[in-house]
Chain A
Amino acid sequence: MTLYLVLATVLFVIGATTVLVRRGAIIMFMGIELMLNAANLAFVAFARQNGDVGGQVIAFFVMVVAAAEVVVGLAIIVALFRARRTVSADDENLLRH
């Protein structure tokens, strides 16, 4: 089980680094997704560790919430792109256009 947790840690760190380093909004968003998935992996590993389906259930809910989040986030990105013709996080410096 520790192996899975270590893998989840590595994935989480990679996702966090992506969000911090990259400037493109879409890639930053993918980093967030990666972090969510790393957390899911830890949940599933702990579910098996403790013999409780609850971990899998919460991973399932995380998946659904992540899907909803992707829908809204990508809609925001598309709206930003329409207003500014760019999706670079450096160029978005106003809340209105």
Chain B
Amino acid sequence: MNPEVVELATDAMSTAETVLFWIVAPIMVASASALIFAKRAVYAAVCMATTMICLAVLYVALDAPFLGVAQVVVYTGAVMMLFVFVLMLVGVDVADSFAETIRGQRLATVVFSLGLAVVLAGAVLRATLPNPVGIPESESGGNPGAVAEAIFTDYPFTLELVGTLLVVAALGAVVMTHRTRLTPKRTQRELSIARFKAGTQLTPLPAPGVYAGRNAVDVPAIDAAGRSLPASVPEAVRSRGQVRQVTAFEQPALQLESPEPAESASSAEPTEPAEPTEPAEPVSPAEPTEPAEPTEPADPAKPTEPTEPAEPAEPNEGGES
């Protein structure tokens, strides 16, 4: 640490610039470290976009307004959008695993990172920088004009190379994501026959919340027999374990599994509609593991026997099993 060097360099910046830097830089570092620590990739992407915007601010402060604008347009506009797009394509519900697959890798990484930081910071801090000269501007165009002048007079060949690179990259992306069809396309008729042969659900899946106490996406629908249908909740919500169990007719889906089907038959009393006062009751998010089959119809032949209304009094049963 060479304090006088830092002071000298800071003196070269105006006070306003220093204040701006000390506001923006911590934000940048904090949101960049989200890349390391964020559990979900979407959070990391949003933090990355924040970093990019802050970087654009710093570019403007560094006499590079053209690059600042280009940064916002190219990085936050195009690149991060692409990232989020692919993230959605690949599946947002997949949380990154933090399990260490190579033994000692994390420790080695920390050591390596610290070493890299020390080396780079040493090189940066030991350098003695004279007062910055400042960017010359072209007479007509300001900073964009100066950059354009440099690009088109000094580096025209590089520019052409880069243009070729962009075309090739776009073609490469098309080729790589293209999928040749190996089998003939199945017609609607064949699909329909296959579906009937398989004997699975023929109709569209029920919408979430139908006949349930509320119509939010995470509340399973209730069928005519009063059973809740976990298949009606979208797959993404289910795989995150966010299915709520708020049923109008007090029929937790767990009871479908219980050995006595008589108990699982609904009381079919539309009394007490839903009682939103006892909300949520997130009965064990382990439930969505039981998949899309509301088959095993729990004897709809004798759905009556309104003996005991399926005992809503012990919701902690779900917590145990």
Q: Which residues of A contact B (CB under 8 A)?
A: 1-7, 9-18, 20-24, 26-27, 29-31, 33-34, 37, 40-41, 44-45, 47-54, 56-57, 59-61, 63-72, 74-79, 81-82, 86-88, 90
Interface residue total, chain B, C-beta cutoff 8 A: 85
Chain B proximity of A60: nearest CB distance (Å) = 6
Measured between beta carbons, the chain B residues less than 8 angstroms from A15 are 32, 35
Give Cα A26–Cα B91 distance, bound, in whole angstroms.
Answer: 11
Instruction: Given A1-B9, A37-B75, check contact A78 B96 (CB 8 Å).
Output: no
Judge whether B83 is part of the interface by a CB distance below 8 angstroms.
yes
Interface centre among A40, A57, A72 (most CB of B within 10 A): A57
How many Å lie between the Cα of A17 and that of B172 in the bound state?
29
A3-B9 in contact (CB<8A): yes
Q: Please, which residues of chain B bring their CB within 8 A of the CB of A72? A: 169, 172-173, 176
> Interface on chain A toward B: helix, strand, loop, or mixed SS?
helix
Residue on A with the closest CB to B155? Answer: A57
* Chain B residues in the interface with A (C-beta under 8 A): 5-6, 9-10, 12-13, 18, 21, 25, 28-29, 32-33, 35-36, 38, 41, 44-45, 48, 51-52, 55, 58-59, 62-64, 66-67, 70-71, 74-75, 78-79, 82-83, 86-87, 89-90, 94, 96-97, 101, 105-106, 109-110, 112-113, 116-117, 120-121, 124-125, 127, 129, 132-136, 143, 146-147, 149-151, 154-155, 158, 162, 165-166, 168-170, 172-173, 176-177, 179
CB-based contact A3/B13 at 8 Å = yes
Q: Is the Cβ of B35 less than 8 Å from the Cβ of A34?
A: yes
